[in-house]
Structure 1
Amino acid sequence: MRILYVDCSLAGISGDMMLSALINLGAKIDLEKLSESIVESLDGVEWLEVSYGIESKMGFQAGLLKVAYSDSKDHRRGCELKDGLEKTLKLMDASHRVKAYAVKVLETLLNAESVIHGESVEEVHLHEVGSPDTLVDVVGTALALDNLGLFEDVKVYGSPVSVGFGFIKTEHGRLTVPAPATLEILKSKGYPFKGGPVEGELATPTGVALLVNIVDEVTQMPPLIEPVKVGYGAGFKELPETPNVLRLIYGEQRTQYIQEDVYVLETNMDDVQGEVLGHVIEKLIENGAKDACIIPATCKKSRPGQILKVILDCENLNRIVDIIFRETGTLGIRLAKTSRFIVPREFKTINVQINGMDFPVKVKVAKDLEGRIIRVKPEYEELRKISDITGIPIRELSSIIEERAKTYLTS
């Protein structure tokens, strides 16, 4: 499986850093044609020049995108920017994948600005976001991702984004970091961020809009990856003791199984009734836990007790923690983040003949990423029904159906 890891944990992300990093990774796009298309598409832009070069950031050689332009407008409405995007995409002969991504990114930006300013998406007044370099970043990044084949058959991971801290000057006055539009985009997509590591604005609205619309999974640590290429995109600022670069790592995950990040919750209990524990397990599963179990344990003062162990994803963390506290009365829960390998699974219905009778049986089929069957398991309720009809014990039925299902699925 192909992997792209967007590492914005050090110096955040901006639109020009993302595009620079993709070009540094090997993307080929016509920057001159892109400039000409934007000038033709966006009313008020008199000229626009986009260039790419290599710059050293504290010893790191990174791609740097430079954008210069003359614009007679100091702001634009949302509808003007949308119209400019559509015309630019048409002039660039963009593929449907490029169009879909670019439109989604701009919608994310405009929706955030609309929420912040209390205006419709069409009429919202855009200052920084309304400039032509926004289209350079959005369309250029979409074209670069497509050129590298990163819209299909690839899993994109992203780190939590560093946003910096302190204050910034904008058309709306002095604001705290992260900027309101940046924060709104992160909030709307549930994308995690962290302050620091240096003062100033490290994550821009355009940068995070590009980020949240390409990342499939956020991870605190890089995924298991065999790196093939690394791309660095530089920002213009010189940061104290920190290279101002965005890093993209492209490679492959040479495993037959899926890797995912999960949280593991544990709590010790020695005074909870068995009926309550059974209810808790059911409720945890109903509310999004991936798995939950009870482990016998010896607790304080040599009392017999149990360990409740739950596996879950980040999305359900707060809800699951709340359920454990309220339902068990425990006073503390341990939390650990880890990775696990899982086998993809699906349900199939096959016809099986037993004692001269045909039965449709629903089976769970687990296959690795190379298509090899790891396990076939009939559903219990299906086995019970067939057992009631044929008189064959469930244990024997399970073995019979597993073998016949494997034969059918591999033929």
Structure 2
Amino acid sequence: MPSTMRPPSRRKASSMSSSGASAGRRKRVRGDTPVRSHSRGHEASIPPSVVVIDAAPYDEVPMSERTTRTQIEANVDDLDPRIWPRVIEQLLAVGADDAWITPIVMKKGRPAFTLGVLCGDGVVDEVRRVIFTETSSIGLRETIVTKHALPRSFTSVEIEGHPIAIKRADFDGTEVNRSVEWDDVVRVADALGMSANDVLVAALQAGREQQA
């Protein structure tokens, strides 16, 4: 028997209470717009209560922000892989900009991971402490790097009264990227009993309407 998708409820959308949203420009997107969901092969509809809230415009932003950061790396071949999520969590908690692991093959063919961390000068000592206390590494290497970050701003859409943030990035005054905040997608999907994919598709469609 073919599965059926639970339709979203028809509750009226409520306005956002944040001051940033109220300062922006609000417009309603016409509901029940067919949206192709490529990953699931069917058409989903934007709930009729989708509200697009434009962020306040900003002027004369730089093409990119240039900062100096320290990149710290350590090769680890003997750590229980279940520990890695905590390591990443702890590094971000002490203020690292980003942290990641990359699978590698070390000498004698041993599988291992390279732990990478990007951070500012003010948290280098704490990052070292986390690496030495939370992993089995007994050494690390540090490199000074230049980081270029595009200016970012946030807009919001509401689906059935639940806000979802959309992050945009500009280069030379032109928008080059727009992405939906995944944590918001999961939260709204749980609240409305919808699939995360359908919420994501609806939010992206609302974001495209926002650009029009």
Q: Structure with the greater relative contact order (CA < 8 A, sep ≥ 6): 1 or 2? A: 2
Residue of 352, 368, 375 corresponding to 2:177: 375
- Letter of the structure 1 residue corresponding to residue 156 of structure 2: T
- After TM superposition, list the pairs within 5 Å mapping 1:191-270 onto structure 2: 256-270=63-77
Query: Structure 1 residue 395 and structure 2 residue 197: aligned?
Result: yes
**Alignment size in residue pairs:** 154
- Name 2:162's counterpart in structure 1: 360
Q: Deviations over 1:161-208 (max 9, x none)?
A: xxxxxxxxxxxxxxxxxxxxxxxxxxxxxxxxxxxxxxxxxxxxxxxx
Contact 2:162 2:188 in 1 (8 A): no
Structure 2 vs 1, CA of residues 319 and 385 (structure 1 numbering), >3 Å: closer, same or farther?
Answer: closer
Contact 1:261 1:313 in 2 (8 A): yes
Q: How much does 1:383 deviate?
A: 1.7
Q: How much does 1:273 deviate?
A: 0.9
TM-score computed with the length of structure 1 as normaliser: 0.34
Structure 2 vs 1, CA of residues 390 and 362 (structure 1 numbering), >3 Å: closer, same or farther?
Answer: closer
**Partner Cα distance (1:402, 1:318) in 2:** 40
Structure 2 vs 1, CA of residues 365 and 379 (structure 1 numbering), >3 Å: closer, same or farther?
Answer: closer
Structure 2 vs 1, CA of residues 343 and 364 (structure 1 numbering), >3 Å: closer, same or farther?
Answer: farther
**Partner Cα distance (2:76, 2:161) in 1:** 45
Query: Structure 1 residue 322 and structure 2 residue 129: aligned?
Result: yes
**Partner Cα distance (2:84, 2:70) in 1:** 20
Contact 2:170 2:177 in 1 (8 A): no
**Partner Cα distance (1:306, 1:292) in 2:** 13
- Name 1:345's counterpart in structure 2: 152
Contact 1:343 1:366 in 2 (8 A): no
Structure 2 vs 1, CA of residues 327 and 389 (structure 1 numbering), >3 Å: closer, same or farther?
Answer: closer
Q: How much does 1:377 deviate?
A: 2.5
| Runs of at least 5 residues in structure 2 that lack an aligned partner in the other structure | 1-58
Q: 2:177 is paired with a residue of what secondary structure?
A: strand
- Letter of the structure 1 residue corresponding to residue 89 of structure 2: E
Give the CA RMSD over aligned residues. Answer: 2.6
- Name 2:138's counterpart in structure 1: 331
